[in-house]
């Protein structure tokens, strides 16, 4: 099956990241649940403050993207937020963000859901909308304030953060899109029913049949159709629910540690769900040189992967300093203990 290339060449005109300030250490979580026994999948994860949610995260990421793009926000004709933790089940986060950044009223807006790949799904759609010539600029955001079930393995990694991308004409971009490909199947590795606070997951089933099958298939197919091998890429980012999975995926595909380390943030901020691969991408855009080819492969439970190949342009060096770097947010940290974390995440059920 052919990969996707829009009729009009498009690229990333602006990008922005956001990660909350608070952190909880994996060791602190295991202190509570395992008496400190056993290893932890990430050193620490980000925790949203009591006044933060997916909308506020998306707004700051969007503002940073606008700073880099330096376009009139009124020209953004579509704004889509992908998340599995929107503040409202009915009422789009996207309109709140659009209002806050000045993109209303001449815009379309909707929320996307596809677990951790909702953000990249929105990037695909934005590439399509701009690529078709219907609009010049469309913004796609992946953001989450993921909730981990107390005592569950995923509690160590369910984190908060997001990144925003303004897709526009290739001639204005800091990284243009060479092509993209999505690989999807109905695979129920991780899901949440309405009115349930926490998701359920299939344990080890989330590995081979879910994450690896889709990530590797999407990556291989994209690379094959474009005629590239791992050495054609300067850097690669994979969805990072922990450190092990993206590391293993990279290895399977033949990528070196040097190619993936700039984009591997999970050990320091955990799994930001719909923000995960997009924050990895913002981290590599923060350091990419003109001409660098970048691979991004997301994964969303349910399940599917979106794979993209971007190439950085000359404009990247001048534009990236207009907004805070991903690392600036990662370095900004305040550790909290399990009690404060439970309070901030509203896990206490008052009887």
Partner 1 sequence: MRVSAHWRQRQQRLTLTGERCLKCGARVFPPRDVCPHCHEPAYEPFEFGGRGEVYSYSTVYHAPAGYQHNVPYTMALVKLEEGPIVTAQLTDVDADEVRIGMPVEMVTRKLREEGEDGLIIYGYKFRKLLQESA
- Catalytic residue numbers? 84, 116, 239
Rule CB under 8 A: is residue 164 a binding residue for partner 1? no
> Which of 329, 336, 341, 345: binder of partner 1 (CB under 8 A)?
329
Q: How far is the CB of 273 from partner 1 (least distance, A)?
A: 19
Angstrom distances, CA of residue 237 to CA of 132, 215, 221: 27, 11, 16
> Which of 43, 324, 340, 342: binder of partner 1 (CB under 8 A)?
324
Q: How far is the CB of 345 from partner 1 (least distance, A)?
A: 12
> Which of 28, 53, 155, 178: binder of partner 1 (CB under 8 A)?
53
Number of other CB atoms surrounding residue 132 within 10 Å: 12
Q: How far apart are CA 345 and CA 336, in angstroms?
A: 12
Rule CB under 8 A: is residue 74 a binding residue for partner 1? no
Kindly indicate which of the ranges 52-60, 147-155, 202-210, 268-276 contains the residues binding partner 1, using the contact rule CB under 8 A.
52-60
Q: How far is the CB of 186 from partner 1 (least distance, A)?
A: 32
* 75 versus 153: smaller Cβ distance to partner 1: 75
Rule CB under 8 A: is residue 15 a binding residue for partner 1? no
Q: How far is the CB of 99 from partner 1 (least distance, A)?
A: 6
Rule CB under 8 A: is residue 61 a binding residue for partner 1? no
Rule CB under 8 A: is residue 141 a binding residue for partner 1? no
Would you give the DSSP letter of residue 230? G
User: How close are the terminal C-alpha atoms of the chain, in Å?
Assistant: 55
| Strand segments (E) across 234-284 | 235-238
Q: How far is the CB of 340 from partner 1 (least distance, A)?
A: 12
The radius of gyration of the chain's CA atoms, rounded to the nearest angstrom, is 19
Q: How far apart are CA 253 and CA 144, in angstroms?
A: 28
Q: How far apart are CA 282 and CA 18, in angstroms?
A: 10
Q: How far apart are CA 12 and CA 137, in angstroms?
A: 10
How many amino acids of this chain bind partner 1 (CB under 8 A)? 22
- Residues numbered 81 to 100 that lie near partner 1 (CB under 8 A) are 87-88, 96, 99-100
Rule CB under 8 A: is residue 102 a binding residue for partner 1? yes
Q: How far apart are CA 105 and CA 103, in angstroms?
A: 6
Backbone φ and ψ of 39, nearest 5°: -80, 175
Q: Tell me which residue of 279, 52, 241, 83 sits closest to 157, measured CA to CA.
A: 241
Q: How far apart are CA 130 and CA 122, in angstroms?
A: 12
Q: How far is the CB of 59 from partner 1 (least distance, A)?
A: 5
The number of helices, as runs of H, and strands, as runs of E, in the chain is 12, 14
Rule CB under 8 A: is residue 349 a binding residue for partner 1? no
- Interface residues with partner 1 (CB under 8 A) are 21, 49-53, 55-56, 59-60, 87-88, 96, 99-100, 102, 324, 328-329, 331-332, 334
């Amino acid at each position: 099956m052919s990969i996707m290339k829009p009729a009009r060449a498009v690229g990333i005109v602006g990008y922005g990241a956001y990660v909350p300030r608070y952190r909880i250490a994996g060791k602190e979580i295991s202190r509570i649940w395992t008496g400190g026994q056993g290893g932890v999948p990430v050193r620490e994860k980000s925790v949203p403050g009591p006044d933060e949610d997916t909308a506020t995260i998306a707004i700051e990421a969007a503002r940073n993207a606008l700073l880099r793009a330096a376009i009139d926000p009124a020209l953004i004709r579509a704004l889509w937020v992908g998340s599995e933790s929107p503040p409202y089940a009915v009422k789009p986060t996207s309109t709140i963000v659009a209002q806050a950044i000045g993109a209303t009223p001449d815009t379309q807006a909707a929320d996307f859901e596809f677990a951790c790949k909702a953000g990249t799904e929105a990037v695909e759609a934005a590439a399509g909308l701009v690529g078709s010539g219907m609009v010049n600029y469309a913004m796609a955001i992946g953001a989450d304030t993921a909730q981990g079930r107390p005592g569950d393995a995923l509690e160590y990694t369910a984190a908060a953060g997001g990144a925003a991308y303004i897709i526009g004409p290739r001639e204005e971009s800091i990284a243009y899109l060479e092509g993209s490909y999505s690989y999807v199947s109905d695979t129920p590795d991780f899901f949440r029913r309405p009115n349930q606070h926490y998701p359920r997951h299939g344990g080890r089933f989330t590995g081979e049949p879910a994450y690896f099958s889709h990530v590797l298939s999407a990556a291989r197919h994209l690379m094959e159709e474009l005629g590239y091998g791992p050495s054609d890429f300067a850097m690669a980012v994979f969805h990072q629910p922990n450190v092990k999975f993206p590391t293993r995926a990279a290895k399977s595909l033949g990528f070196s540690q040097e190619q993936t380390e700039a984009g591997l943030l999970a050990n320091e901020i955990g799994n930001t769900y719909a923000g995960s691969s997009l924050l990895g991408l913002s981290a590599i855009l923060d350091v990419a040189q003109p001409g660098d080819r970048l691979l991004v492969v997301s994964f969303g439970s349910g399940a599917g992967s979106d794979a993209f190949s971007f190439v950085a342009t000359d404009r990247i060096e001048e534009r990236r300093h207009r907004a805070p770097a991903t690392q600036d947010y990662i370095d900004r940290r305040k550790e909290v203990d399990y009690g404060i974390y439970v309070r901030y995440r509203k896990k206490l059920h008052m009887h």
